[in-house]
Amino acid sequence: MTTEKIGFIGVGLMGHGMAKNIVAAGYPTTILGHRNRKPVEDLLGRGATEARSAKVLAEASDIVFLCVTGSEQVVSVIEGENGLAAAGKPLLIVDCSTSDPSVTTRLAADLAAKKITLIDAPLSRTPKDAWDGTLDVMIGGDPADVARVRPIIERFAQRIVPTGPTGTGHTMKLLNNFLALGYGALYAEALMLGAKSGLKAEVFDQVIRGGRMDCGFYQTFFKYVLDRDRDAHKFSLRNALKDTSYLAAFAQASCAANPIAAAVRNSYALAVGTGHGDDYVPMLSDVVAKLNGIETAS
């Protein structure tokens, strides 16, 4: 039995499965209450304990995993009133959220003075992979800290790729999401143009599936397009806009021209701005279709 005591904040779509696998491996695990009580109650039934605040969770933990929406929530849960830092003890914090790299590096430097280490370990793949323990993880941090958390991350990940110092994991995650969300924007526009010319989504799929342009993201996207499976890819358009906005901020800070990323961001901004923020990424195909006078891309 390990002596490391684990804290976990953010037991939502991804975090629930991750925490489940940590608990199943025998790690003493404390979780923070979540607005959705169903995953909390499930984890308590599996042997986790619940803390009433991030401070209390920190007091019970050696290593704390965060799986929240983004940098704003990360800063709040660490530095806010009754946050992790308020416990006043050494901690290793692993941020599995998709966060702004500039915020991550600044926060890591600030926390180091308090004997708190922050590393970034964002995720790739789906909530099903989190449940099955087959996520991909990009991890930025000192090699000794990465080695310390690796046995725990291996409980919910099949592939762990060290990226360099703290902040590089979040940078790589933004690039990964840029590619995926870029494909999503391309699929949506291509389907709309095809529908305008009378090409059915089924025909589009017969050409792409199994060819060089096929990939896992394409398949989950089209599971919604063809089968109308709303849960095929549970990543909201609002979160897609957040991630592409983080990339835009990173490009601006780097004095880099990024016209393609700007166009991709605008696709998701349009979807959120027209009231579809809580829909999932494959539903961008319907948004783009309807804005062009077509009921759905399928």
Domains of the chain: 6-165 (3.40.50.720), 171-291 (1.10.1040.10)
Q: Residue 143 is which amino acid?
A: P
How does residue 126 score in pLDDT terms, banded at 50, 70 and 90?
confident
Write down the H helix ranges in 197-280.
201-208, 216-227, 237-253, 259-273
Q: Which stretch of DSSP H or E encloses residue 77? A: helix 71-79
Beta strands in the chain (DSSP E): 6-9, 29-32, 49-51, 63-66, 91-95, 116-120, 123-124, 135-140, 157-164
What pLDDT sits at residue 1? 46
How does residue 298 score in pLDDT terms, banded at 50, 70 and 90?
low
Q: Is 173 a catalytic residue?
A: yes
pTM (two decimals) = 0.89
Catalytic residue among 20, 38, 128, 173: 173
Mean pLDDT to the nearest integer, 15-22: 98
